[in-house]
Amino acid sequence: MRDIDELRELRDFDTGAPPLDEETRRRARDRLLTAVHGTAPRVRPPRRPVLRIALTAGLAAAVAAGVLVAVRNDSGAGAGAGAGTHRTAKPPATSAPAMRDVSAQTVLRGAAAYAREHERTASPRDDQYIYTKEIIKETDQQTGVTKSYVDENWHSVDGSRRSWVMEIGKGWWSPPLKKGESSWPPRDWGTLRKLPTDPERLILSITNEYGGRKTSLDELSDQDWSNVHFSLAGLLKLVPVMPAGLRPAAYEALGMVPGVTAVPGQKDAKGRIGVAITYDDPTLPKGSVGFGGYFVFDPLTYEFLGFRDIRTSGDGAAMKTYTQLSYLDSWAVVDRVKERP
């Protein structure tokens, strides 16, 4: 149960618990992404689960480690085996002031429509790698000093080979999943392709991984919705390339979560002013900030621009807080780890 305790600590570190140092965050992220679940019985989640560790879906806490990883709005190719009928999104707005009031649902439906129209497709082989180049700019909130980082990652397509991952300029080898292992969000193409591309079915499939067997969104509790948001945010943040239709479905599913809100006037890493989507989690103490940060979109086209989040390092009087802006610069399918396109 140690991993579950660490998951709670990671998620709640912004709610008054002592913040974790950088090395602890990195080790927890790497270990929990590849946690072995073997043939352990399915575990019912505690009252305040962060992510559910189970045989078929060890929902990893990398997304709770407080380190931001950017994703693009493009998806990969291949309709999922579990794909259903798309909920058709309304076309994005073509003319509106950047600071206009707009609902989160409108933004996310527009983002889904934009992604479906502009998504790049890919058909990677199991022995290949997904290469991503991410740009991160973070500003020390006390000194105002801004530093930029370039993170390059090579993720094994089928998860059978070690991957090279970076966070804030630091890189390490991530070992492949072993037999019986799994993680959330899934990285291997085969598992991603099986996720539903109908937003409602996607929500229910995520909920069922937490131990419930819900057949309708009306059955979901506040805790269920909190888990769904946490999982969708992790999928959108940590998986830069997806099979066709999955990213639009995730955007639309995020728009169905009660408590998601639109915040105008948010700046991205390139200085553009957009509208951001964030989440007010009713299961957390008032004033606490849950995982998810801000997803920033163009206010006219609803193209995804990048992420805005907060990162902390150090402890006590030595603790530093950073505002972090990031985006995906490029991605490609390559044959070898460390090979650039």
What confidence tens digit (pLDDT) does each residue in 253-310 have? 999 999 999 999 999 999 999 999 999 999 888 766 667 789 999 999 999 999 999 8
Instruction: Between 263 and 72, name the one with better pLDDT.
Output: 263
Closest CA to 13 of 289, 224, 237: 289
Q: For residue 272, give its domain range.
A: 2-334
In a domain? residue 277: yes
Query: What pLDDT, on the 0 to 100 scale, is given for residue 123?
Result: 86
What total of structural domains would you count in the chain?
1
In a domain? residue 46: yes
Query: What pLDDT, on the 0 to 100 scale, is given for residue 208?
Result: 87
In a domain? residue 340: no
Residue 205 and residue 196 in contact, taking contact as beta carbons nearer than 8 Å: yes
Q: Beta-strand (E) ranges in 194-319? A: 260-267, 273-279, 294-297, 304-313
Query: What pLDDT, on the 0 to 100 scale, is given for residue 290?
Result: 66
In a domain? residue 262: yes
**In whole angstroms, what is the distance from residue 302 CA to residue 116 CA?**
12
In a domain? residue 341: no
What confidence tens digit (pLDDT) does each residue in 104-139 have? 999 999 999 999 999 887 889 999 999 999 999 999
Where on the phi/psi map is residue 55: left (φ > 0), alpha (ψ -120 to 50), or beta? alpha
Give whole-number Cα distances, 21 to 26, 28, 68, 192, in Å.
9, 11, 15, 32
In a domain? residue 92: yes
**In whole angstroms, what is the distance from residue 132 CA to residue 226 CA?**
29
What confidence tens digit (pLDDT) does each residue in 139-171 have? 999 999 999 999 999 999 988 999 999 999 999
In a domain? residue 339: no
Give whole-number Cα distances, 170 to 21, 22, 129, 330, in Å.
14, 11, 19, 19
Characterize the bridge pairing of strands 170-174 and 163-167. antiparallel
